[in-house]
Chains A and B, each alone.
Chain A
Amino acid sequence: MSRRVKVDITVPNQTKYLGVIGRIGESMAYSLKGFRGNRRELAYHLNLVLTEALANAICHANRCDPDKDVRVLISASDRDLTIKVFDQGQGFDIEASAIRKAKSNAEGGRGIQIIFKLMDRVRYIQEEDGNVLEMTKYF
Chain B
Amino acid sequence: MQLKMTEQDDIVNLIIEEERMDAHNSGDLKEQMLQLFDEGKCNLIIDLSAVRFIDSSGLGALVSGFKNASAREGNLKLCCLQPQVRSMFELTRLHRVFEIYVNLDEALNSF
Residues of A within 8 A of B (CB): 15-16, 18-19, 22, 40-41, 44, 47-48, 51-52, 55, 58-59, 104-108, 110-111, 113-114, 117
Contact = CB atoms under 8 A, between A and B. Distances in A.
Contacts, number: 65
Contact of A110 (B22, B23, B92): B92
**Interface size class, chain B:** 20 to 34
B93 A104 contact: yes
Main secondary structure of the interface of B (DSSP, over half): helix
B53 A47 contact: yes
Contacts of A105: 63, 66-67, 97
Interface of B: 20, 22-24, 53, 55-57, 59-61, 63-64, 66-67, 84, 87-88, 91-94, 96-97
Nearest to B52: A44
A44 B63 contact: no
A51 B96 CA distance: 24
Tell me the dominant secondary structure on chain A's binding face: helix
B24 A18 contact: yes
B63 A114 contact: no
Given A48-B55, A52-B55, A18 B23 contact: yes
